[in-house]
Amino acid sequence: MYINPDLFVNMNTENNWPDMPDPGNYQLSKNVHNICRYQTVASDMQHRSTTSRLYVHIDMNCFYAQVEQLCYNLYGMPVAVGGWRKEDGTVKGIVATSSYEARALGVETAMSALEAYKLCPYIVFKQVDYEKYRAYSKRIKRVLDTFSPDVEAYSLDEFFMDITWKKGESPEELEAFGTNIKKAILEETKLYCSVGISTSKTYSKLASDMNKPDGLTVLVEEDKIKEHIWPLKLDNVWGIGRRRFQKIEGRGISTIGEAIEEGYQKFQTLFGDYFGKMLWRTVAGEDRAKVDDDTNYVPERVSYGHTFSTWTEDPWQVGGEFAKAVKQVCYRMRGYGKKADKFFGTVRFQGTEKEGFSFSFRTPGLTNLDDYVLHSCLEKVMPLLYACKKRGKQFRSIMLGTTELHMTDQTELFFQENPKLQRLHKAMDYINNRFGMETIDHGISKLEVKGHTHFKDRSM
């Protein structure tokens, strides 16, 4: 359904428009990739008590691919989620994940579907179906809630439990507990998982990764932790990516054990007194991280990106994609009760060099209404797109995001959102939250780049 905002904006809202009901529950996880927060490397995510704790990490093995194997009876077949075949048989897309059968043949995450096809011509491609995976994830969470009052859905396929109340039990008793978790999930969903149990959130995550697939690892005794955790490379730890690992390795520290024996001083030198010490404590398994259900979590920034299944030369089709991005970003800001006035965007060109350009823009003031953001965005990006078209460039992907968020009750001296537009978006949110995100949309979004994507619900 497409509506003309002027029909609402020009109404006498005081006399002709009854009070709008509450917009309802915002679907803040829809079309959003879960990006891990450093939940152990932050003071507000730590228990104040220094009491030692006990954690469980549950990792659903190759979750997307495993669900597709279950739903389509593809057991034993190499499956790649994120690709598809055109009518002429040509494969397109990017591998989001793959089954263990496909991984054994060299198929890896982020590999192009064409590369995967060359490694395995009979591979089965399935598009990403987040609604299906989210439904299974909720079923898994309900199972886990029967084992502990403290369960965190870290992502669709990863969960944490705080089981400090089981401290003092033997490794054999904890192993039996982990086995019961695995059995309960299998009985409810017919899906397999790997479980890790250890003395910190980080170590439990590392433990669950040691005996995949369908594994169970209990590391609670100091000698077992030294034997299995200490030899691991530091880039296995939360918060240590490639660049940070290179910095630490440049100081002669490569493994968890080496970092523990060296102490936190070098980490402080490299990453600052506070963050350096917190990061070292995470490496050393000394963090006391909370198991948090994220109910009250508000991100520092909001962003949305999309890669087209094919390229386009039409700047207005890219403008239509930015309209979709604005809708997603503003919708999430309203859901979080936040506003922004500074935004950034990127456009990538078609080609192996991954060239493109970035841009930034400001709205007249703090806002979370699509109208202000979309106008400012298109005003900045459209001339750039036309200039690139004259240079013969073709467009392949876009991204839009905020640089920082502010509270919605923050007042400004020189700008105030149009109250009629505020009511319009409240009405739109009410309808979209009740009947689906695509019920009401921007007319310009009809100019989108047509075609399939590796997401099932974005395919045309």
The active-site residue out of 68, 158, 321, 448 is 158
Q: Is 158 a catalytic residue?
A: yes
DSSP for 47-70?
-SS-----EEEEEETTHHHHHHHH
Residue found under tokens 């990863």: 158
First to last CA, the chain: 17
Residue type, 453: T
Give the Cβ contact number of residue 61 at 10 Å: 18
Q: Phi/psi of residue 61, each to 5°?
A: -65, 125
Contact 345, 319 (CB under 8 A): no
User: At what angle are helices 63-72 and 130-144 packed, to 10 degrees?
Assistant: 100
Q: Where are the beta strands (DSSP E) in 206-337?
A: 216-219, 303-312
Q: Where are the beta strands (DSSP E) in 282-433?
A: 303-312, 338-349, 356-367, 395-402, 406-407
Positive or negative torsion for Cα 171, 173, 178, 179: positive
Q: Phi/psi of residue 243, each to 5°?
A: -70, -45
Cα angle: 218, vertex 224, 225; to 5 degrees: 85
Cα angle: 322, vertex 84, 33; to 5 degrees: 45
Distance CA 254, CA 306 (A): 36
Q: Looking at beta carbons, which pairs linking 137-140 to residues 24 or more positions away fall under 8 Å?
A: 139/188, 139/189, 140/58, 140/60, 140/185, 140/188, 140/189, 140/191
Q: Which residues are catalytic?
A: 158
